[in-house]
Structure formats: C-alpha cells, structure tokens
Amino acid sequence: MVESVNDKLEKDTCETFSFDEEKVNRVKPRVEEVAGVEMIFKALSDATRLKITYALTIEEELCVCDVANIIGSTTATASHHLRLLRNMGLAKYRKEGKLVFYSLKDQHVYQLVSIALEHAKEGE
C-alpha cells in the first residue's frame, strides 16, 4: 500500500495539542535574539558569495581580480558580490594603490563557513 503525503505528515506531528508552558515561557522571549542573523545566512545563501567567502577561508586576502578569476566572472561582478559581503559585515577591504584586497571580517565568518562545509560533508 502506498502512503499518501497526508499519512506521512501525520506521523511527524503531535496527535494532540499540548505544550510545556515552562519551556515555552523560557524560550519564546529568547528567540527574538536572532533578529537580523538571517541576513548573514541570506548573504551566504548565494552560491557565488559562498564560493567567494570559502575562497577567503583558504587564502587570507584576495584582490578583486583574483576573486573574479576564481569564480569565473568579470571584476565588476566579483566587486558587486564582495561589496555585498562587506556591507553585510562578513568581509573587509583595503586599498593598495589601484588594487583592492578583501579578507574575512573576523574569525566568526571563517567558523561559519568551515562548520557549514564540515556539516555538508557529513551528509555525503
């Protein structure tokens, strides 16, 4: 017999509505602490920006031209993505003459990407 989608959904939900009031009261106010964090994940949810960020975990600093070659794009496209990462607080830059170099803003960004990559590899 083939299970319907509704049969599958019913198995992973409570059959009766009941909750632990103490837990709910303890956790509910705290979930607002994540406000704004979704923007970090939004920035990293783009495959190109994630590749750039990962490249910056491998090499501490990269010129916009290096990034463009790594991701196979124009310097304008690479610059656009890098600017967004900078505006989201994930990357920083410095100018050296006519060149612009980017690096990760801090160790937390490195850890986010490293942990996500490690987690993805666990599923393989």
Q: What is the mean pLDDT of residues 23-36?
A: 94
Average pLDDT over residues 19-23: 93
Scan for tokens 């790594």, then name that residue.
Answer: 70
CA–centroid distance for 79 within its chain: 19
Residue 3 has pLDDT above 70, yes or no: no
* Domain parsing of the chain, residue ranges: 37-122
What phi and psi, each to the nearest 5 degrees, are found at residue 37?
-65, -30
Q: At the top level of CATH, which class does the domain 37-122 belong to?
A: mainly alpha
Rounded CA separation 46/80 (Å): 13
Task: Render pLDDT for 30-68 as a digit per residue (tens, 0 to 9).
Answer: 999 999 899 999 999 999 999 999 999 999 999 999 999
Q: What is the pTM of this model?
A: 0.82
Q: Can you tell me the distance from the alpha carbon of 31 to that of 123, in angstroms, rounded to the nearest whole number?
A: 28
CA distance 105 to 115: 17
Burial of 102 (0-12, 13-18, 19+ CB in 10 A): buried
